[in-house]
Amino acid sequence: MKTKSTYGIGDRVAERPKTHGLMTVRAEVKERIAQYRSQRYGTVVGFSEKITARGSKQKMLLILWDHLQTPTEHAQMRICHERDLTTMMKNVLVPGE
C-alpha cells in the first residue's frame, strides 16, 4: 500500500507492520521473540542522507521513539504516519498468527 511518503519535523510516525510470523511451537521461544515485535511510535526530529553501496543517496529519518531518550536513524520505507497504521495493519497477512 502506497502512502504519503513525505515527512516533516514533528510528524508522529510508527514502524510499518511486520509481515513475518512466529514460526515456532515452543511457548518460551514465542515469548522471547514477541518482546521484539512490539509496535513503536515516535516523532520525526530530523533528516539525514546515506550513500548506498551503489553510490546513490538514501533519505533517512531521525526518529525519537516514545520509549527512548535519544533519536535513532531509520529508512523511510520502514516508517509510516501514525494515522495510516490502522489501515496498513488490516492489509497485512501475518502467517502463523
Residue 74 to residue 11: CA distance in whole angstroms: 14
What's the pLDDT tens digit per position in 5-62?
A: 589 999 999 998 776 565 667 788 777 776 666 788 999 999 999 998 999 998 899 9
Residue linked to cell 538514501: 58
The pTM score is 0.70
The ranges assigned to domains in the chain are 12-90
Give the H or E element holding residue 32.
Answer: helix 27-34
- 61 DSSP 8-state letter: E
